[in-house]
Each structure stands twice: as C-alpha cells, then as structure tokens.
Structure 1
Amino acid sequence: MAMANLRYVLIGCLILWLTLGTGRTAAQITVNGNSEQGVINCTIPDRDLSLSQAQTLYESGCYNAAATVLETVSQQGDSINQAIALSNLSLTQQQLGNWQLATDALKMAFERIEVSNADHQAAIQAQALDVQGQLQLARGQAAAAATSWEQAAQLYTQLDQPNRAALSQIKQARSLQTLGLFQQVKVILVDVAKSLREQPTSDGSEKAIALRQLADVLWMTGASEISLHKSDSSNEQQTRSVQSLLKESLNIGRELNRTDITAAATLSLGNFYRHQFFKDISQPTIDHQKAYKNFSNTLFIYDQVINETSNRPSALQALLNQLSFKVNADIRDWLSEAKGLSTDQQRELQTALEPTALQASYDTAKTQLSILRPGRQTVYAHVNLAESLLKWQQMKWQQNQPLAIDGTEILALLKTAEAQARQLDDKRALSSVLGHQGQLYGLYSKDSQGPWQNAYLETATILTRQALSQAQAIGARDISYQWQHQLGRLLTAQGDRDGAIAAYKGAFDTLQTLRSDLIAVNSDQRFYFRDNIEPIYRELVALLLPPTRSQQSKANADGVQTSQQDLDLVRKVMDALQVAELENFFQAACVDTTTELGKTLQPGDAGIYPILLDHRLEVVLQLPMVDKTVQQANTTSELTEDYTLQRFSSNVEKADIEQLLSQIRRNLDSSNPGAVRQFERASERLYTYLFEATEIGPQTKPQTLAIALENALANSSSKTLVFVLDGPFRAIPLGTLYDGENYLLEKYAIALNLGIEVRESTTLPNGADLKVLAAGVRNPPIPFEDYVLPNVTAELEKIQTSGASVKLLQEEDFTRETFNQQLNDANYQIVHLATHGQFASNREDTYILADDERLPVDELNALFRNTQAIQNPIELIIFSACRTATGDNRAVLGLAGATVQSGARSAIAALWSVDDAASVPFAEAFYQHLEQPDTSRAVALQQAQLTLKEEYTTPRYWAPYVLVGSWR
C-alpha cells in the first residue's frame, strides 16, 4: 500500500514534519517492545499543547488527535511558529485524506511566512513548499508539484543545504516522469548525481537518503544507470549504476553506525533486483539466465536484511517483501517454461518456492508482527501479510491442492488490523482492511455451494461496500476503484447484471480521473496493469455485450437486446483501454487529450472495434451519420448525432483466435511456399470470424434479416477502415486478411487508432508545397553495425525526385544536432526516416538510429516538440526501415508512442524487418500517389503497397506497413 515516508527536521527548537518520497514501497515499520499489542493511546493532553506532543501523536498514527493539537498550536506564538504548525497540520490532514483542509492550512502557512521577518523564514518556506508539492501530486497536479519542488530546491541551494536541494529535485523528477517529460527528468537526475558526488561523506544521513532515493527513481523510470562528466572541465563520461549509488548509501550508513540507513539501502537493492526480474520475464523473448540471476539476487538481498540487520522493522519489511515475491503466480509460470537452466538452478528455484519455505516465512512474519507498536504502519503490515496469504490460497485452489493456510488465520490478521484502524479512526487504513476481508469471503465463496456460497457472497458484498464507503468518504480514488471492481465481480457472481455494470462503470470512471497516479511504478508494473487495471475494462465490456442464447447454449438464437447507450459505452471503454495501455507502456500520462473517433469519421470511413472475449469475437462497427438513409434501410441500428453503432458477433474460442493470429504472424514474413499456404489458410479463417460475424440487433428484429459485417460495410460504401485493435490483433497487418480471392488491402485503405489523439487533419499538399525532411543512415554506429541498409541512398533519391520540397540529411549529416536544427528551422509536413530502428513493448528498447548515436523514444519529445513543431505539427512521420520486435504484441505501442512523442498526427512503419531493396519502390510509389489530388495518406499507403505487390507477390514484402493516427 502506498504510503509516504516521514521525516522530522529540527530548526532550533522547532519541528517540521516533511515527506521525502511518494514511492509505493511500504512505510518504515516501528517497534515498541513495551507496548501491548492492539493498545493505542491517542489521548490529547489537557494543557500545554505543543508541536512535540503533536509529533508524538502523529508518529503513533493518531492523525485526528495530532490535527486537533496542531489547530490549537497554530494559533499560538509568533507567525513563524504558526507557519510551522500549519504546515504540519496540512501534512496531517493529507494523511487523513482531508484535501481541502490540507489546502486551507497550507495557504494560511504561506500567509504567516510572508509576514514573518524571522531568520529562518527561507528555511520554513522551503519546507512548506515540500509539503505543497506532496499535496499537489496527491491531487493529480503533477506539473504544479514539480514547480513547488523546483522552488524548494532553489531555496535549499541558497541556504547552502545541497542534500535537501537534491531530495527536492528527486521529487521534482518523479513528478515530471508522470508527465512523460523524460528528457527533463534525465537532466535533473544528472544534476542531482553531480551534486551528490561533490558532497563529502561527512554530510551524513541526508546524503545517504538522497543517494538511495536517486537510485530508486532511476530504476522506477526505467534506467539502471546514469552517465555524467567526471568533472566540469572534462568530457570523459562517468557511469553511476543503481547498485553503486546504493552501495555508497550503505557505506555512509555503516560509517555513521546507522542501521536504519544501511537496512534501507539494502532493501532498495532487493527491490531493484525484483524489478529487474519482472522486467526480464515480461520480454517477448526471455533471457532465462538473466532472469534466474535477478531472482536469486532478490532473495539473497532480502535474506541479508532478514538475517543480518539489527534493525527489526527493516527485517520484517524484507520478510514481507520476500513473501509477496515468492507467492507471485508469474514466477511459477516463468519457471514452468524456463529453458536452459541447469538442474541445480531449477532445484534452487523450486526449493525457494516450496510450501515449507513459505510456511516458515509466514510463521516468522506472524511472530514479528506481535511485537509491532500499533499504528497505521502496523495495520498495513498485517494487510500486506494477509494479501500474500490470499495469493497463496488462490494458487492452491487453481492447482486443486489442499489449502495452505486456514482462512480463519487470514481473517484473524485482518480483524487485528481492523481493531487498530478503528482505534486510530483511520478511514483509509480501515477501507483497506475491510476490502481485503471482502476479498477473503469472495475467495471462499468460489469453493462453496448452496447456502454457504450465498452467505459468503453476501458477506463479501457487505464488507466491500463498507470499504468503498470509507474510501469515498476521504476521496481515496486510488483504492476506491479496487473496491468498485471487486463489488462488480461479486454482483456478477450473484447474477445482478445491472448492479454489476453500475459498479464497473464506477471503477471505470474513477480510473479516468486517476491516470497519472497509476503511473507511479511498481516493481512489477506491467503485471500489475495486466492483473488489476486491464480486467476492469474487459469485464465491463463483457457485461455490456451479453452472449446470445446460442452462445449460452445450443438453442437457436433470437437476438439479444444491446442498447445504443451500451454500445457507445463499449466504444468509450475500448478507446480508454488503448490510452491506458499506451500510458502503461510509457509509465507516464503522455496522452494529453483524445478526440472521439466518431467525430472525425467522414463519408467513406468506417471505425471497427474487434473485441476478443473468452468464448466469442465481438465487433462494433461505427459509421458516420451521413449514412443514415442507408443504415435505416438495411439495419435497425440506433443513431446518435455523429455516428451509428452496430454489433456483430462470432462464436469462437479466444484460444482459437489467438492461435490463428500466431500462425499468421509466424508465416507472414516467410517466402517459403508452404509457409505462404499456411498463412493463407489461417488468414481466411480469421477473415471469416471477423468479417462474417453476424449482426446482433434488437429482439424485435428477426434473426433471418441479420447481415454480416462485410455486407454492412458494402452497404455503407466505406473505402477506409479505421481499426481500434484489441491486444493480439496488433501483431498482424489486417490488410493481409484473405477472403479466398482477395486480401482486405485490395478492397479498403486501412489505418489504426491506438489511443493517440485523433486530430482534425487535412489532405497533404501537392508538389513543392509538400515539405519533406528525409534523413537516412546506411552504416549505423557501433554497436548496431550489423544493420547496414545499402539502399538508403536510392530511397532518398526517389523521395528527392518526387516533386516535393525535400531536405536531405545523409550519413554524417544526420546527427542529433543537425536533425534538431532542421526541425527548428523549417515547417515540414513529412519527416521520412530511412534508418534502422525498433519498436518494442517497453520504451527502453524503442529507438531510432542517427549517424552518431541511438535516439530513444523518450527523447523524440525533446527533438520534435520545438517551437516550430508546436505551431505547425508534423503531419506524418515515416519509419521506413524500422521494425517491431519479433513476436511482441505490445510492440505496436512503441510505434504509437513514437508518434505521440514526436507530436506527429500520424506515422507509418513496418511490423517486421523489410527487405531494404523493397523500400525503394515503396517510397517511390507512396510519394507518387500522394501527389494525386485529394489523395489521403491511407489511400496513398494502400496504393503503394498494391504497387509493391505487383512486383513482390509474397506478403512478406508488401504487407508489413501500417498507418497509425490520422488517415486523411
């Protein structure tokens, strides 16, 4: 559970409570051997209230009591004392989720600071800005938070407090990261690294904390190291890895004899290896030895903290982290498929995951919990342990094995946590406890029948509603959506479809307000999205598109009522899922705005949403309003102001569609006649499922009048198909779908919409009015020298003779600096890049090559988003020699991400490595067709591919190109 780590800074005799991080790791646990378990003293003293008393209450988790004391203290003493009390009051109200009260207190604090003439005015202002940054980030105001922390860092620098300045800069970088401003993040982190390098170790604990947080923010933003000049006068580079930063923090802690610092640094190292492991096993092609090494390092480091540190809170935290790691189902999935591991390595992994090892960890953790001082951190420690046990139980059920831990033990942990949360009057903690109790009862309902099952479901529903009520009372959206999702699942199990849809819609609406908050990186972020975020979208869509009677049984179908409102919500949910996936790819809220696809469709366009559910393939067809007469004549679809929506469905298992897609992708880039025949057979079957899907209309319409999708498209006179693709469909170019006689590309121009902004865009100009920046590299830099492109010069020459106004950058002329300069100096409608590049399922492996270096997708924003580009956005960017990572369904997100980062309205790239020689006639044909009056970029691409098909009949050569974004 996300909690802020708290720190207390003395200025003379005055105390200010500060937050030093908003990471998602658990707060530090405190131990009190003299406290009785479950007894919390939140009594407010009768007189002589002071900041120190408020601090004691705060540290005990008595936030309401601390707030009461601070309200009194804030009215006493001089203005600077009042400012400190008010800043602390804001921090306390933030813990309670009272955002408006926190804002009001902070506003009054700044007013007191402004009228103060005390010597410590600047220091208090810097600390208040720190508190303000946390408040703004918690309320989704990442840009404002970055400004607050920037101002705090400047004040700390003026006060000659470089370590505190570094801490504020680190938090500034985290907030900018959520906005997708990776280049700015990199600049700040390099500055922080230089500053910390220059500070002597004698500066002590603050430097150690800053080093650890710098290391954490590096791996959380996808980096494992940072490069900087060895000195201001040297161009020689020095690399600081996450491990080296944490080692330095660890050494400082040892010199100071601070076990809390050494344990925290070691814990961070364990969390880093954990992150690396999950990153390893999320790759389409897994390096199993590398994954094994990071798995072993994770457990070794956690064991080191557990067994060697005298800091008991850190030991318990390591134990809880280790147990949650071991019960992760993805580890077992990886182990079952891991290849190339030795017998000893496999035995080591299996031993670590044996039930006896998990039981021992649980027993030790349970003992450690008994000596914790009651408080919010203790509540979350109980929840953390219970959550791991719940995951362990789920695995046992799925494997049809005896239960690992009796459910009453899990419930006892949660009941202890509930009692403490109620004593603290902590609504957030109580919400977490009640929600997990609901999860426990819901889990046990699946293994029960009859009255017991109903009783468990009813209890789970009541507890989940209570958890949701507590979360909503304090505006805790980050946990509200979880309980709304859980409630939706419980109501679905009870057959309450309307109630379930309402709960899912609540979760969906909450997620739309949370975007940047969900970006904060977990060590297993991609898996977290897959398991906790994506299902909300898909399960809601499944409820909105109920199966027909024939899909429920073998009876004849007579239609299912699907309202226009339901179909419209399906469309919105699938659009939002595209955005969520793209932002998960970037780990940043980088998609500023989206325009509904229906508002941009024009006569001749059709929007198609293929949606793959467990036992059926659903398709939603969106047509512009202009087709009203045709639609009314041929269908009973309802109308909106801008577009019509129709539903089509095919009875097919999800696994069968996925197998077909895999067969198509595997054989597409082969010239072998046998592979081509296999591709055509699989492609024809997929075409049947998709385009012969039957219309599902209102119950009043006879099923015999229902038409197939291909007929609806023919009736609409559509010429361009805009696909909003569901996951697995992104692996193939849909133009290769085969009806037995023709490919889809031969009938329609095709474009993809992947969540990027659909902006109004006009047809590109002709002749000299079309300005093109064409850049290419034949011989790429080391270590990419194997990716030689011998025909780059010929390709660029074809573009230069196309009739457009073309600026060429070739070989040594195509550097980061010259490329950036050209983008600043002129307004180009097209940027054509004939250079090697790759689009992968993670942004770290998505890049293009200049002559002098690799340009990561993160940095395209800084290169393209100059003043000229902002005023006149690039219409089209073409990655003619780039490719997506083989077998990676998410790799097209890299293409969409590159489009977003460049600010272009659309992009063209290939789904696999294209023959360099074929790129030349492709480029020639594309620009020739683009020269034709009123020719859209989608049609120009279609015609260029068909031209290529005449020369290269095998799909491997003409099929890979896809257009993402605007198709005008």
Structure 2
Amino acid sequence: MVATRHWSKYLLLNVLGVCIVVIQPSFIPTQAVEKEAQRTQAKLLTEKGHELLDRGRNSEAFEAWKQATKIYRKLQYEQGITGSLINESLALQALGLYPRACNTLLQALKLDKDSSICDTSLEQATDSESTTASLKAAIDKQKLTQVDLLGLQNLGDVLRLIGKLDTSFAVLDKASQIAKNLPTESKISNFNNQLLLNKANTLRSLYYQFKSKYQLTDEPETKQNALLKAQENFYLTLKIYKQLIADKESKTYIQAYLNQLSLLLEIEKWTNLTKESSQIITTEQSLQQLFKVLSTSKEKFQQLSPIESIYTRLNLAQSLTEINQNSKFKQLLFPQSSSLIVALDTAREALILSKELDNKRAESYALGTIGKIYDYLGQVTESKQCLETAIGLAQSVQAWDIAYQWQWELGRLYQQMGKADKAKEAYTAAINNLDKVRGNILAVSPEIQFKFKEKVEPVYQEYMELLLSQKNPNLKQVVSVQEKLKLSELETFLECGKLPVISLLDSQKLVDLPPTIYVIKLKNRIEVIVRTPEGNFYRHTKDFSLLSNSINSLLKGIQNKEITGIEESDLLIYSQALYNLLFAPIKKYLPKSGTLVFVLDSFFQNLPIAMLHDGNNYLIKRYNISTASSSELWQSQTLNPNKLKALIAGISEVSPSFQNPLVPRNFNALPKVKTEILNIKKNTTPDSKLLLNAKFTSEDFRQKMKDNPLTIVHLSTHGQFSSAPEKTFILAWDIPVTVKKLKLLLKTQRSGIDLLVLSACQTAKGDERSALGIAGIAVKAGARSTLASLWLVEADSTTKLMSEFYKGLRNGLTKAEALRLAQLKLMSDPKYSHPYFWAGFILVGNWL
C-alpha cells in the first residue's frame, strides 16, 4: 500500500533535510529593520504551516503559507515566493484540491502558460501528447534552482493524482535529468532517490490503471494490450524499488522495501500477470529475501519524518495482514507464529505516533487497520470498537475516502455477527460516502480511482446480497443500490465525476412512468425486479448458469456476419429460452401492452430485448421497448412533432478517416447513406441541416452544432461501441471522433439534444460489454435519448426503418412507439422479417 494520502510529499522538505526559507539572501546590516522583521515573520509562518500540516490542519496550514507568500511578494524575494507557493500546493493537495494545487505549482515554476495541463474537465481529463511536449519544452527554457526542482517533484506527484500519469512521469523524469546535472556541491541529499520513489509511484499508478482497463473491458485487442502494459509498468516499478533498496543509507530504503513487498503481494492476486511472469524471480523467493532484510532494518523507520513513519508502518501492517490470508505465504514466512500479531503491533505503533502528532486522518487509518486485524483474529468486540472510532475520526475531517472503507468493513463485521439491521446501516453509510467520493473522484488516491473492481463494485454488490437475503427484502432499496452501481460504472468508463441525472425511482420527477424491469447479475444468480406504475416491486430469481449458454449463443449468432444465413428457427431456441427464464415469471405483473423500460446489468446490455419470444410472438409485437444502462436519466421531455430540427450528417464514400489505425479494416463505403439522410430531411423541419461526405468534417460538424439550436442529431456513418472508451468512436470525414472527443464537438448545445441517432454503427465484436459505449456516447452528447444499432445492419433495411421512425415522430408518437412501429414494418416485409434486420436497433434513455 502506498501511503494513503501520499503524505511523504507533504513533508518533502524535511525528508530532504532542506527548508525553503533557509535559502534567503545574506543578512545585510544596512537593510531596514522592518524588512528583517518581515523575513523573520515569513520564516515563522512557514514553520507554523508545516506543523499544522503535520497535524492534519490543512486549511490553517494553507492560510499560514498564504500569508508567507504575501510577505515574500512584498519583499520581492523570488526564491521565497516560489518556495511558499510550493508549500501552498502541499496544503491544497492535503485538502484534495489537486487541480488548484497543480495550477499553484505552475505559477510557482512560472509555467502557468501551460495551465491546460491541470484541466480535469470531461474533455480534458486525459493526457495529451502535445500538451506534455509543450510543458517539457517550457521546463527546458527555465533556469531552474534547487527550489524549482522541488516544485517539479511536487508537480509530477499532483499530475499523477489528477490522472495525468504519462505527463507526471515525463515531469519527474525531466526533474531527475536536471538534478543529475547539478554540480556535486549543489545536489540536495537524497533528492535523486526521492525522485526515483516518485517515479515508481507514478509507474505503479499506471500499472493499476492498465489493470483496471483489463478488468473493465471485454474488447479482445484492448484487453490484451492492457495486460501487456500492466506487465510492463509492474516490472518497471519493481526495477526502481530494487534500485532504491541497493542504497541502504537512503531515507527511501525502507519505503522502497515495503512498497516492493506490497507490490509483490498485489501481483500474486492477479494471476494473469504471474502466469506470464518470466522476468523476475518467483514471488516466494522475493518475499523470503525481503523479510530476511526487513527483520534487521526496523531502525530505518527512525530516519523517516513522523507522518511518513506512520504510513510506512501501516503499509507493513497491511502487507502482513495480506500474508495471513495467503496460506502459501503464511507457511513460508510465519511457520511458527502469526503474521497478524506482528501486524497488530506495527499498527499500534502507528496509532501511538498519529496520536502524538494529533493527526486525525492518520489516526483513523491506524485504528481502522487495527480493527481489520482484530476481525481476522476473531476479536469481534475489539474490531467493532476500533472501526467505529476510526469512522468517527475520518468523518470529523471529512475523509470520506477512508470513512467508506471502515463503514464497509463494519458492515461485513455486523453481517458475521448476524446483526442484519446494523449491517444495513453500515453499508448505507458506506455507499453515501462513496457517493461523495464519486462527486470528486480526483480527490482520492489513484489506487481507488483505478480499483473499481476491488474497492467500489463489491460494496454495492455485497449490500444488494445482504438486502436480498432478508425474509421480506426491500426491493426498492435494492434497485436504488443497483442504480448507484451502474452509474458509478458509467462514470468510471468516462473517467469523470458524478453525473447530473434523475432517478427513475423518484416518481415525482417523472410523469406516467412505465413498468421498469431491472435485470441484475450477482455472483451466481440473476435477479429480475419489476417496478409497476403504481410503485410496487416484485422479484424473480434464476441461477445464472441456466441463462449464460442461451445468452452467449444468441449474442454469438446475431454478431455473425452471416446471420441472415442462420435460420430464424435456430435463433428462436435461444430467444424463447431467455423469454421463459427472464420474462415469463414476471409477465403477470405487467400490462398486456404499452411501454417497458429495461435497466440491464452490463452483461445483458448487448442483448436485443425485442427478440425475446414467447413461443408465438416476439416481445416487440406487444411492447414499446426502451433500455438503459442505468435507471437514472436526464430530464424527461416529449418531442414536439413541429420542432424536429435536426443536424443530419453522413458518409457514403471511403473517407480519409478510414485509414486511421483505430478503424477496423472491414469498414466499407455506405452508398445508401445519401438516400437515407435525404429521406430523413423530408421528415424533419425545413431548417434542418445536412452534412454529407467531405462536408462532414469534425470542424464543420462542430460549427453547425454551434450555430443551430437542435432537437435531433442524426449520424449515418460508421462507428463502433466498445467497453474500451478509446475504441468507442464515430467516423467523421477527416477523423474518428472518440467518445472522449465528442463532448468538444457537442458542448455548444447547452441544453443538450433530445435525440441522438447512430444508424450505421455497431458494437465491437467479441466485447460482451460493448453497449456501455452507447451509454458513454449518449452522456458525452448530452442526449436524452439515443437510437443505435447493436450490429451493422444491411443498408436498404436501415434506410426503410429510419424513414418509418421519423414518420412516427412527425406524427406525434413517442420515440419508443415510433421505433416499435418501424421495426414491425420491417418485420411484416418478407424480405426483412429476419431478426437481423430489425432486432439490433435499441433506444437508450428517455422513451418519450
């Protein structure tokens, strides 16, 4: 475990044996007494700020350093200004205000012309090669002092915390190169080692990022590339730790040792890496060597600053706890004793130090760690007391990222004790605090940002399992938890903060709410929950193994290029099986016709619900169908048939964007697109705009969006939906517009668009969660509803379906009704009756 809030940087100056205020101009006797007093005051304020930061009084530390900066500005002392601004950034980081800390460091380093590097908005939240190159060039032009190098080190750390990992590494690497070239007498003690440790931290975050990408995507190529990148960054991180360990006199020695230990334990959990690990010695050998040295190196803790000593001890305690959970390592390293006893003693030492320092955050972390260890030791009462106290301390300093973890642990503990009501209270509190963390995801450790599968998803899933295990479960609460989980998943996909949406459960905000069907995948089963228009909830449960074969077979069939050669009767075997398992048991709670809203777990989002078959008819024969990746939607609004102003864009020829490496080689020209968009123009208002072929460049599209308030945006062009954001795109004439760039093109539509239509796109083959990309595009576009296809459908039938769909809208039908009637029109035509032609079109979001 890397120190939870990266406190090592907060006392960086002390770690290096340097205090910024020491570097002051020599005292000149003729200077005014007032200036001497001001310098003294600035120095005292600087020291006071460090003392306050040590104790977790971050706002007060910031104010102290702000006053010091003001004095240095008055004295026109540049080194003092730079150092004091760096100090201010330390307090801002401690407050979780990372973008602001980043801008403060740029100001300190006189690099604020490149302030876009600190931008964490949706469209700027990822690295840009050009921005990184520009920043490096600006650094090269500066004449950097030792104080500036400290600023670069902190800038690298802050960039890591706001997710700019490649830029973070580039800045730290540049600082390292500059430091090596300083004259020997000018080198700061241990500075290069500290920079190496910072670089290892960034590489480790890159490892977590790619591991998370591997876990969260099902797109085969992206998954494989993520695995290779995770491996690469794991080995690079390990290499630096070994390099640091070689310098036994360095203050980073013990930190590097313990970080290596925790990294090796981490990699053991992820078998995909260890199976292919050939570049390093086995984990068992490494651990044995580590523990042999560690047992004789405990005095190294004394070399650390107090706050670093606390978190380094907790790092060790956490690793010892993990060793206890691995029988192989437990036998190898502690054959005669318990690693938990050593872990408990180590965590207690950290607790004593945190109390002496009066740092509530550190104290909470220490107490929570002790509480977990007591749980493993079977000392339930002691565990409960420690966890409850740790929660109170975390909440007292608004450390929600810590509080939710201890509430999660407390919920598990109460569940073990058979106290279901108490467990529910704890889980509810944990999720409420997770909501706060989601609202400012950049204010937490990258280990939480990039550990959705380990640190976020299980909290929601365990709580749902607990709720459903009750005799009369509160199904509304289950659905509410599922809503939060799916929304969190979408936010993770988009790498953004909390999205502004309205819950379907809040019936006061939505009129004429149709029946809503939630399909939730838990560990070994599927839960189908129905919410009726009256607000009643009903539940049906099926073993997952009964559905998985039918789902996989149906998805494999419908994504096949030669699907029209597969007999409809062969597909019916699976669509009828799924109907009987998922839908038939809840049929009695539903009206015989009307609109149904399906809220599907990610595993089911590629499933064409319209294809479910009761043995006589497809589901689409009876119902208008809308789907949602989450049951939380943007504000509901019915389309006005007299205000169907649209921007209609399409590509019918092979364009330059086809040559982009991102684009699959099997994309061909779409000659029928011209006919399709002309037909659509006839069914929208006369002031609708057309962009065809070379006129549909990304810039022309952006300009048309800017100049025209629109109801509908219709794109007849190739595109791909994937669970990997970088593989989710729409082709403009000149470039593929990825989901992350789409916001830039559409941001001029302040009120959002009512309907986004993507008529020639498809889901990525082999990607079971690719429909997440549809939801991602809808969010980026600010679209209340999105009509898209799960696979690339034959052009003539698509043209006919779209024409019928827009006729329906013009006639005042809801979007769901218009889509259904268009699908039925195709189905009634013998030429297009096969599900391939009509079942792939889905409406995501608002059905009105």
| TM-score past 0.5 threshold | yes
Cα shift readout 1:282-318 (whole Å, capped 9, x = no counterpart): 3422565873575255325523442366373444444
**Contact 1:83 1:110 survives alignment (8 Å):** no
Q: Which amino acid aligns with 1:846?
A: T
> How far, CA to CA, are the matches of 1:5 and 1:210 in structure 2?
17
The structural deviation recorded for 1:485 is: 0.4
2:606 aligned residue: 731
The structural deviation recorded for 1:939 is: 1.5
Gaps of 5+ in 1: 8-17, 20-26, 33-50, 56-75, 226-241, 339-345, 446-455, 548-559, 628-643, 694-708
The structural deviation recorded for 1:936 is: 0.8
Which residue of 472, 491, 510 corresponds with 1:583?
491
Which residue of 924, 934, 943 corresponds with 2:803?
924
**Contact 2:529 2:539 survives alignment (8 Å):** yes
1:328 aligned residue: 266
> How far, CA to CA, are the matches of 1:96 and 1:246 in structure 2?
28
Does residue 396 of structure 1 match 2:327? Answer: yes
> How far, CA to CA, are the matches of 1:521 and 1:916 in structure 2?
48
**3-state SS of 1:836 partner:** strand
Does residue 941 of structure 1 match 2:819? Answer: yes
**3-state SS of 2:500 partner:** coil
**Contact 1:761 1:966 survives alignment (8 Å):** yes
Which residue of 891, 903, 918 corresponds with 2:782?
903
**Contact 1:173 1:188 survives alignment (8 Å):** no
**Contact 1:306 1:315 survives alignment (8 Å):** no
Which residue of 286, 290, 294 corresponds with 1:357?
286
> How far, CA to CA, are the matches of 2:822 and 2:723 in structure 1?
28
**Contact 2:55 2:357 survives alignment (8 Å):** no
The structural deviation recorded for 1:591 is: 0.9
The structural deviation recorded for 1:800 is: 2.6
> How far, CA to CA, are the matches of 2:87 and 2:154 in structure 1?
20
> How far, CA to CA, are the matches of 2:648 and 2:79 in structure 1?
51
Which residue of 217, 221, 234 corresponds with 2:159?
217
1:348 aligned residue: 278
Q: Which amino acid aligns with 2:814?
A: S
Q: 1:793 to 1:657 in 2, by over 3 A?
A: same
> How far, CA to CA, are the matches of 1:265 and 1:665 in structure 2?
46
2:840 aligned residue: 960
Cα shift readout 1:8-30 (whole Å, capped 9, x = no counterpart): xxxxxxxxxx79xxxxxxx8995
2:744 aligned residue: 862
Which residue of 515, 529, 532 corresponds with 1:606?
515
2:312 aligned residue: 381
> How far, CA to CA, are the matches of 2:171 and 2:291 in structure 1?
32
1:464 aligned residue: 387
Does residue 623 of structure 1 match 2:532? Answer: yes
2:110 aligned residue: 162
> How far, CA to CA, are the matches of 1:398 and 1:692 in structure 2?
50
Q: Which amino acid aligns with 2:712?
A: I
> How far, CA to CA, are the matches of 1:116 and 1:307 in structure 2?
39
2:5 aligned residue: 3
**3-state SS of 1:763 partner:** coil
**3-state SS of 2:278 partner:** helix
Q: 1:758 to 1:294 in 2, by over 3 A?
A: closer
More moved, 836-845 vs 266-275: 266-275
Cα shift readout 1:129-156 (whole Å, capped 9, x = no counterpart): 776676667667x6xx7568657755x5
The structural deviation recorded for 1:506 is: 0.9
1:291 aligned residue: 227
Structure 2 counterparts to residues 476-625 of structure 1, below 5 A: 476-519=399-442, 528-546=451-469, 560-562=471-473, 566-589=474-497, 591-597=499-505, 598-603=507-512, 605-614=514-523, 616-624=525-533
Q: 1:423 to 1:152 in 2, by over 3 A?
A: closer
Does residue 250 of structure 1 match 2:176? Answer: yes
The structural deviation recorded for 1:518 is: 3.3
> How far, CA to CA, are the matches of 1:199 and 1:410 in structure 2?
49
**Contact 1:777 1:850 survives alignment (8 Å):** no
Which residue of 344, 358, 362 corresponds with 1:411?
344
**Contact 1:519 1:583 survives alignment (8 Å):** no
Q: 1:896 to 1:87 in 2, by over 3 A?
A: farther
Q: When the two structures are superposed, what TM-score results if normalisation uses the length of structure 2?
A: 0.83
Does residue 711 of structure 1 match 2:588? Answer: yes
2:26 aligned residue: none
Q: 1:499 to 1:353 in 2, by over 3 A?
A: farther
Q: Which amino acid aligns with 2:741?
A: E
1:802 aligned residue: 683
Cα shift readout 1:744-800 (whole Å, capped 9, x = no counterpart): 222211222334863444332336753343333532422236422323223223223
Does residue 688 of structure 1 match 2:570? Answer: no
> How far, CA to CA, are the matches of 2:518 and 2:503 in structure 1?
16
Identity %: 25
Q: 1:462 to 1:857 in 2, by over 3 A?
A: same
Which residue of 107, 116, 119 corresponds with 2:75?
119
**Contact 2:105 2:151 survives alignment (8 Å):** no
Which residue of 759, 774, 778 corresponds with 2:653?
778
> How far, CA to CA, are the matches of 2:129 and 2:41 in structure 1?
37
Cα shift readout 1:263-295 (whole Å, capped 9, x = no counterpart): 246525643662465256334225658735752
**3-state SS of 2:626 partner:** strand
Q: Which amino acid aligns with 2:176?
A: L
Cα shift readout 1:208-244 (whole Å, capped 9, x = no counterpart): 863895598389647758xxxxxxxxxxxxxxxx776
Which residue of 278, 281, 294 corresponds with 2:214?
281
The structural deviation recorded for 1:674 is: 6.2
> How far, CA to CA, are the matches of 1:721 and 1:183 in structure 2?
36
The structural deviation recorded for 1:391 is: 3.1
Q: Which amino acid aligns with 1:182?
A: Q
Does residue 433 of structure 1 match 2:366? Answer: yes
Structure 2 counterparts to residues 602-681 of structure 1, below 5 A: 602-603=511-512, 605-614=514-523, 616-624=525-533, 627=534, 644-650=535-541, 652-670=542-560, 671=563, 679-681=571-573
Which residue of 810, 816, 819 corresponds with 2:701?
819
Q: Structure with the greater relative contact order (CA < 8 A, sep ≥ 6): 1 or 2?
A: 2
**Contact 2:600 2:630 survives alignment (8 Å):** no
**3-state SS of 2:842 partner:** strand
**3-state SS of 2:122 partner:** coil
Q: When the two structures are superposed, what TM-score results if normalisation uses the length of structure 1?
A: 0.74
**Contact 1:657 1:686 survives alignment (8 Å):** yes
**Contact 2:648 2:681 survives alignment (8 Å):** no
Cα shift readout 1:884-934 (whole Å, capped 9, x = no counterpart): 33343443332222222222222122223334444322222221222222x
The structural deviation recorded for 1:332 is: 3.9
Alignment coverage as a number of residue pairs: 806
1:696 aligned residue: none
**Contact 1:719 1:748 survives alignment (8 Å):** yes
**Contact 1:832 1:877 survives alignment (8 Å):** yes
Q: 1:506 to 1:117 in 2, by over 3 A?
A: closer
**Contact 1:909 1:961 survives alignment (8 Å):** yes
The structural deviation recorded for 1:31 is: 9.7
> How far, CA to CA, are the matches of 1:686 and 1:330 in structure 2?
38
**3-state SS of 2:649 partner:** strand
> How far, CA to CA, are the matches of 2:172 and 2:70 in structure 1?
39
The structural deviation recorded for 1:580 is: 1.1
> How far, CA to CA, are the matches of 1:421 and 1:864 in structure 2?
49
> How far, CA to CA, are the matches of 1:277 and 1:116 in structure 2?
44
